Structure 1
Amino acid sequence: MSGTAGTKPIRLVISDVDGTLVRHDKSLHPETIKAAHELKAAGITLCLVSSRPPRGVEMFLGPLGVTAPHAGFNGGQIVAGDNKTIIEELSIPEEAAREAVAHMTEAGLDVWVFAGAGWYVKAPIGPYVEHEAEVTRNTYTVVEDFSPYLSITNKIMSSSKDFDLVGRVEGDLQQRLGNRASVNRSSSYYCDVTHVDANKGHAALALAKIVGVTPQEMACLGDMNVDIPMLKVAGLSIAMGNAAESVKAAAMVVTGTNDESGWADAVRRYVLKT
């Protein structure tokens, strides 16, 4: 890890979801729920940022007592606390979206397109379609052609059980798309493409502005490389104990794992300082 924990009081906590806020079985640790309510009682706002679609984090808002805006698609959509109003939305340039879909398909990955509130797939029997539908409580639509949606696409997602292939496609697309889009793995089996500004650093800064705090008053927690941009802009950056080594190196402090009470421990020790 690098640096030291910030000394300025934290007024906003921004957390990744999968691998950070929730356990591997996608449940909330009881201590995480308690710590979230302790933040609220202390007057500290909690916002969630995820590679999931915004509706994929709604199930956690009630148990955690979150009423602030949240971001999905790595910042491609920021939704108000009413879970309906879109505050900010970023779409991938159509040419880049078409190139990404074509390359992923040719490489043998299962490709999905998210546009607006819609989730579009070509093969409902894809290796992770039902898994994603269950985890995010989202509903997909089967289509023959993605073309009608590629001018308004917030996120392109591809998956495979061949994790090495997913990694190769990530590297290939980062080179091919350059600064036309952002390409990152959100897990070992998912490769995501979003607008070039749809990254968690952009999302964290946007949420801080909406809430009315400075980046120095913001703490961010994450576990994957896709979380590093928000760790870099935070006054306090926290990596989970299960995080990739590159994420730990980018963070000021490292806490326990997501299956343990790592999230709650970090909030209490470094934010609430109890």
Structure 2
Amino acid sequence: MKYKLIALDVDGTLLNDNHELSERTKQTIQEVSRSGAEIVLCTGRGPQNSIPFMEQIGLTGYVISHNGAATVDVVTKEVVHQFAMDTQALIPYMDYFREQRIHFDVNTAFHMYVDSVEGMAVEVRSMYENFLMLPANLPQLQEFKEPVVKVTAFDHADVLDKLYEEIAQWKPEFNILRSGEYFVDLMHPDASKGNALKQLAERRGILPEEVLAIGNYFNDITMLTFAGLGIAMDNSPLEVKAAANEVTASNNEDGVHEALLKYCLS
């Protein structure tokens, strides 16, 4: 089978634990691209801190960002599709995060906002620096000129375990997703990596069985199950491995390189 569309998660998949892309994985992706496959990054990051990896590899095309909430053209920076959230319905969640002293950010396709940039804790600021982001101060919701596509809560894992359990019992207005050990995302109910990948494949005239996807966390399950071949990293939780067709090496062992070598270049 020659896969025509290859979706790669970024953190914990494409990048190692130092947030670095290895030269070996980069060269393998370039070789797969030269063979005719289209590469798309499918990530919880926004386009502004995921498109640079496409440029580093030398790729054009698309990034599926914000866990599927916004798909963006790498070259033109055009938002080709996004799932807009009901901002009024977000207010109780934001109030709850503030009451619980849980840090959160509000995202449009290209911008990120927090309650107070100046008041961010050191570990919060460090997190944004690791992800190559600097948020701005949050305006009033009615002042937003662009759709809000994602709200992310950030805290210790045990705090987010309790948060997820609590808000998952509320009226099901959003897709509430554990997108990382220290993150919980709220998105439009139809927004997911799998749904965005499905839309992109249809737009490109590519069948599901011609799609290969590689990921490592719960937010990747929808794209792993949509793709004809879903591959989990060895550093994935057991539930993610169970949802995948295959398991490759970890992100610190060039698992993306190993998978592409086996299924696209052999």
What TM-score, normalized by structure 2, do the two folds share? 0.92
Which residue matches 2:202? 209
Which residue matches 1:135? 130
Report whether the alignment pairs 1:60 with 2:53.
yes
The whole-number CA distance in structure 1 between the counterparts of 2:217 and 2:142 is 31
Structure-to-structure mapping, 1:139-178, within 5 angstroms = 139-143=134-138, 145-146=140-141, 148-149=143-144, 152-160=147-155, 162-178=156-172
The whole-number CA distance in structure 2 between the counterparts of 1:42 and 1:11 is 10
Structure-to-structure mapping, 1:22-37, within 5 angstroms = 22-37=15-30
* CA deviation vs aligned residue, 1:37-87 (integer Å, no higher than 9, x gap): 111121111100111111110220122222111111111111013151110
Q: Secondary structure at the match of 2:252?
A: coil
The whole-number CA distance in structure 1 between the counterparts of 2:140 and 2:125 is 20
Contact 1:110/1:159 (<8 A) preserved: yes
The offset of 1:112, in angstroms, is 1.0
The whole-number CA distance in structure 2 between the counterparts of 1:100 and 1:128 is 22
* CA deviation vs aligned residue, 1:137-174 (integer Å, no higher than 9, x gap): 333112475564498311101111x2111122122222
Contact 1:19/1:242 (<8 A) preserved: yes
The whole-number CA distance in structure 1 between the counterparts of 2:64 and 2:47 is 6
Contact 2:51/2:74 (<8 A) preserved: no
Contact 1:58/1:83 (<8 A) preserved: no
Which residue matches 1:47? 40
Q: Secondary structure at the match of 2:170?
A: helix
Question: Identity of paired residues, percent?
Answer: 27
Task: Name the amino acid aligned to 1:154.
Answer: V
The offset of 1:204, in angstroms, is 1.1
Q: Secondary structure at the match of 1:228?
A: helix
Structure-to-structure mapping, 1:110-125, within 5 angstroms = 110-124=103-117, 125=120
The offset of 1:116, in angstroms, is 4.2
Which residue matches 1:3? none
Change (3 A) 1:170 1:153: same
The whole-number CA distance in structure 1 between the counterparts of 2:170 and 2:122 is 26
Of structures 1 and 2, the one with the larger relative CO (CA 8 A, separation 6+) is 1
Task: Name the amino acid aligned to 2:223.
Answer: M
The offset of 1:213, in angstroms, is 0.9
Contact 1:120/1:143 (<8 A) preserved: yes
Deviates more, 1:32-41 or 1:96-105: 96-105
The offset of 1:128, in angstroms, is 4.7
The whole-number CA distance in structure 2 between the counterparts of 1:154 and 1:229 is 18
Report whether the alignment pairs 1:126 with 2:127.
no
Cα RMSD for the two superposed structures: 1.9
Deviates more, 1:150-159 or 1:257-266: 150-159
Q: Secondary structure at the match of 1:46?
A: strand
Which residue matches 1:181? 174
Report whether the alignment pairs 1:220 with 2:220.
no
Q: Secondary structure at the match of 1:112?
A: strand
Report whether the alignment pairs 1:100 with 2:93.
yes
The offset of 1:108, in angstroms, is 2.2
The whole-number CA distance in structure 2 between the counterparts of 1:181 and 1:93 is 9
Q: Secondary structure at the match of 1:232?
A: helix
Deviates more, 1:142-151 or 1:167-176: 142-151
Deviates more, 1:258-267 or 1:98-107: 98-107
Contact 1:208/1:215 (<8 A) preserved: yes
Contact 2:79/2:109 (<8 A) preserved: no
Contact 2:177/2:186 (<8 A) preserved: yes
Equivalent of 2:193 in 191, 200, 217: 200
- Equivalent residue pairs, number: 264
Change (3 A) 1:146 1:211: same
Task: Name the amino acid aligned to 1:17.
Answer: V
Deviates more, 1:10-19 or 1:97-106: 97-106
Change (3 A) 1:203 1:131: farther
Contact 2:70/2:79 (<8 A) preserved: yes
